[in-house]
């Protein structure tokens, strides 16, 4: 059970039932690979349990690390329920924040040239009734876009990738409570500092050629029966690591100069990520900046095991790594 203590947590079902007394465990996970944060809530089913079903609202609240007042950590919808009975019945509820609907719903859009990703997000939100919170101006005009039937989040991510390819910052949509925000990566006001010999319990460093790119070929539009013309071919550390080639074919890249720039941005050597296990800082989100041993790094993924005290596991990477892995490479 999660017992009330230094950092109490509350789980509320359907805005009516407070479930703290029957909660066994709570985890909250978030990653740059997905738009929606996910909570996994395990509970013991008692005779007076009100019943639970996918589609109901569930809210997880707690006191932030270093704070005194309870805040909402995830406000979402129950997506799955799994139960098992071994003498007593136990139920696991998987809860996503409401941005999950952007990832699971499809639509079609035609946007004129010159709009920013912010303007397009406003359009998605208006059409789909998504309440917006703090939405920063991405400040970069985009090319004309024809989005055939696909998830809404894929369209927004394509807009954000194009923003980066044209020299803009990296941005991420994120639910805060029940409103969708658009925030710059690393723009958090509070930057938590961790040291390997102090508040970090375990630090694992991984270096791999998985994800390395030593050669990039950029192709133009092909004729009906012909091969695609090569707009650019950029070589990196092929002599050191061998040829690991990526191919870009993006209709928005029309000049040799733009092709060369896009290719350079994809070149990458050994990929390095760092995984840290530490006492939980329950407000750390994917895309936040943290300091580890004096290095500024971005949170690629985070798993909060809530408790008193809780623990967290965070995957960290450099800004350059995040830019290449999540924002480079043309359309989705």
pTM of the model: 0.89
**In this predicted model, what pLDDT tens digit does every residue of 67-89 receive, in sequence order?**
889 999 999 999 999 999 988 99
Tell me how far CA of residue 93 lies from CA of 53, 81, 121, 158, 294, in angstroms.
Answer: 9, 5, 30, 32, 39
Superfamily of domain 186-209+270-332: Bacteriophage T4, Gp27, baseplate hub, domain 3 (2.40.30.150)
Whether residue 213 has pLDDT greater than 70? yes
Residue 278's Cβ-side half-sphere holds a number of Cα atoms within 13 Å equal to 25
Could you give the 3-state DSSP secondary structure of residue 28?
strand
Question: Which stretch of 121-135, 155-169, 211-225, 313-327 has the lowest confidence by average pLDDT?
Answer: 211-225
The CATH number that domain 9-97 falls under is 2.30.300.10
Q: Which CATH number fits domain 99-184: 3.40.390, 3.30.428, 3.55.50, 2.60.120?
A: 3.55.50
Three-state DSSP class for residue 93 = strand
pLDDT band at 331 (very low <50, low <70, confident <90, very high): very low
Question: Which residues is 316 bridged to in the sheet?
Answer: 274, 299
Pick left, alpha or beta for residue 207 (phi over 0 → left; psi -120 to 50 → alpha; otherwise beta).
Answer: beta
Which one, of 63, 1, 27, lies nearest residue 312 by Cα? Answer: 27
Using CA atoms, how far residue 192 sits from 29, 176, 205, 218, in Å, is 18, 19, 19, 40
Q: What is the pLDDT of residue 330?
A: 47
What is the mean predicted confidence (pLDDT) over 91-114?
97
Cβ–Cβ under 8 Å, residues 269 and 215:
no
Check whether 223 has a pLDDT greater than 80.
no
- 223 phi, psi to nearest 5 deg: -75, 170
Closest residue by Cα to residue 83 from 97, 95, 98, 94: 94
Hey, where are the domains in the chain?
Answer: 9-97, 99-184, 186-209+270-332, 212-268
Q: Distance between CA atoms of 125 and 325, rounded to whole angstroms?
A: 27
Local confidence band at 266 (pLDDT 50, 70, 90 cut-offs): confident
pLDDT recorded at residue 329: 59
Q: Are 287 and 317 in contact (CB under 8 A)?
A: no
DSSP, res 164: H
Taking a C-beta distance cutoff of 8 angstroms, is the pair 314, 11 a contact?
no
| Residue in 180, 181, 145 with CA at minimum distance from that of residue 163 | 145
Residue 70: DSSP 8-state: -
Instruction: Quote the CA–CA distance of 317 and 315 in Å, as a whole number.
Output: 7
Q: What value does the mean pLDDT take over residues 298-312?
A: 95
Q: Which helix (H) or strand (E) holds 106?
A: strand 106-111
Question: Beta-carbon neighbour count of residue 69 at 10 Å?
Answer: 6
> Which residue(s) pair with 235 in the sheet?
215
- Do the domains at 9-97 and 186-209+270-332 have one common CATH topology? no
Residue 204 pLDDT > 50 = yes
Assign 277 to helix, strand or coil.
Answer: strand
Among 187, 173, 176, 204, smallest CA distance to 313 is for: 204
């Amino acid at each position: 059970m999660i017992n009330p203590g230094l950092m109490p947590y509350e789980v509320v079902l359907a805005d009516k039932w407070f479930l703290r007394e029957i909660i066994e465990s709570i985890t909250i996970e978030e990653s740059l690979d997905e738009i929606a944060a996910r909570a996994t809530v395990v509970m013991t089913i008692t005779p007076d349990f009100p019943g639970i079903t996918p589609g109901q609202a569930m809210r997880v609240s707690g006191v932030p690390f270093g704070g005194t007042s309870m805040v909402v950590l995830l406000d979402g919808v129950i997506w799955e329920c799994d139960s098992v009975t071994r003498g007593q019945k136990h139920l696991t509820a998987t809860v996503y924040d409401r941005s999950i609907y952007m990832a699971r719903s499809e639509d079609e859009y035609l946007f004129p040239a010159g709009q920013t990703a912010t303007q397009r997000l406003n359009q998605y939100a208006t059409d789909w009734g998504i309440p917006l919170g703090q939405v920063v101006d991405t400040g970069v005009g985009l090319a004309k876009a024809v989005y055939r039937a696909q998830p809404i989040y894929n369209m927004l991510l394509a807009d954000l990738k194009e923003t980066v390819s044209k020299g803009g910052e990296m941005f991420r949509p994120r639910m805060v409570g029940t409103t969708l925000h658009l925030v710059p990566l690393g723009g958090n006001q509070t930057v938590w500092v961790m040291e390997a010999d102090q508040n970090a319990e375990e630090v694992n460093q991984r270096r791999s050629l998985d994800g390395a790119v030593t050669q990039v070929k950029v192709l133009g539009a092909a004729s009906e029966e012909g091969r695609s013309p090569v707009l650019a071919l950029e070589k990196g550390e092929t002599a050191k690591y061998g040829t690991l080639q990526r191919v870009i074919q993006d209709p928005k890249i029309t000049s040799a100069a733009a092709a060369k720039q896009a290719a350079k941005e994809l070149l990458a050597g050994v990929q390095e990520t760092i995984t840290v296990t530490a006492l939980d800082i329950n407000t750390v989100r994917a895309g936040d900046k943290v300091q580890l041993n004096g290095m500024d790094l971005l949170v690629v993924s985070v798993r909060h095991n809530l408790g008193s005290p809780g623990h967290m596991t965070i995957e960290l990477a450099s800004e350059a790594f995040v830019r290449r892995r999540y924002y480079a490479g043309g359309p989705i």
